[in-house]
Structure 1
């Protein structure tokens, strides 16, 4: 059985920060927490549902507003396999997980849906496997910000 939360610390946080920043072309403030939403590839959990473009847009917009209010970087969306991401076109920009490093560090096991990780400026992190709520992302940001 796999626990849904994992706690740890990245030893060479600067290497990971630099790689993510360069490959995603996103300006990251390294003094703030980094949030990565990770898409492992199409599976029964993330390929179904009744979400519309509008409801997805609202969900991610609310997530991002809350993240910014908590003084963290906007989420970075990374994928392992692009298949199934078409429903997000025009809503969020996904980037290929550079060198598969995010998967190696945080998401070794394919967990259904998507997962996320919040990384503090010093490299401490909390990852969560599987479907998640906006509120839970916000709670984890508060946890790593203490």
Structure 2
């Protein structure tokens, strides 16, 4: 089972933590989209993706999210080993106090995962490698 749905009890606290960590304001009326990098593993350290192809992929991901929910994803890591390949492509932030891992990703799933949290604290998380359409779909559901 790679998708999980649930509810967090205190979204405002999470907002504050993420704002402090990423140094950007989070709109409490919009979903929070987090792409989570657990650390280096065989899945996310292999492959032939170039900086250019990564930039394109994440550019499309962000354009889609912008259209659906007028917001941007936040990129959070547990362990930054292996993130050099995103230099100049994305800015990643350390998981504040391990909060994202504790709330959504207790287990290490290969590659990376994501979670979308609605303004009311409901969420859909997806474990392991994912396509852009999964993120868009979850964002759509969590925006309603």
**TM-score bracket relative to the smaller structure:** over 0.9
Structure 2 residue aligned with 1:45? 43
SS of the equivalent of 1:117 reads: strand
* 1:79–1:94 Cα contact (<8 Å) kept: yes
Structure 1 residue aligned with 2:133? 135
Length, aligned pairs only: 144
User: Which TM-score applies when normalising by structure 1?
Assistant: 0.96
Per the TM alignment, residue 115 of structure 1 is displaced from its structure 2 partner at its CA by 0.1
Structure 2 residue aligned with 1:56? 54
Structure 2 residue aligned with 1:8? 6
* 1:24-68 C-alpha deviation (Å, 9 max, x unpaired): 112211111110000000000000000001000000000001000
| The structure with more helix, counted as a fraction of residues | 2
* 1:34–1:72 Cα contact (<8 Å) kept: no
Structure 2: gaps (5+ residues): none
SS of the equivalent of 2:106 reads: coil
User: Which TM-score applies when normalising by structure 2?
Assistant: 0.98
- Would you identify which runs of 4 or more consecutive aligned residues in structure 1 move more than 4 Å? none
In structure 2, the CA distance between the partners of 1:16 and 1:23, relative to structure 1 (3 Å rule), is: same
Per the TM alignment, residue 72 of structure 1 is displaced from its structure 2 partner at its CA by 4.2
RMSD: 0.8
2: CA distance, partners of 1:72 / 1:96: 24
* 1:33–1:72 Cα contact (<8 Å) kept: no
* 1:74-121 C-alpha deviation (Å, 9 max, x unpaired): 000000000000000000000000000000000000000000000001
Alignment of 1:1-146 (within 5 A): 3-146=1-144
Structure 1: gaps (5+ residues): none
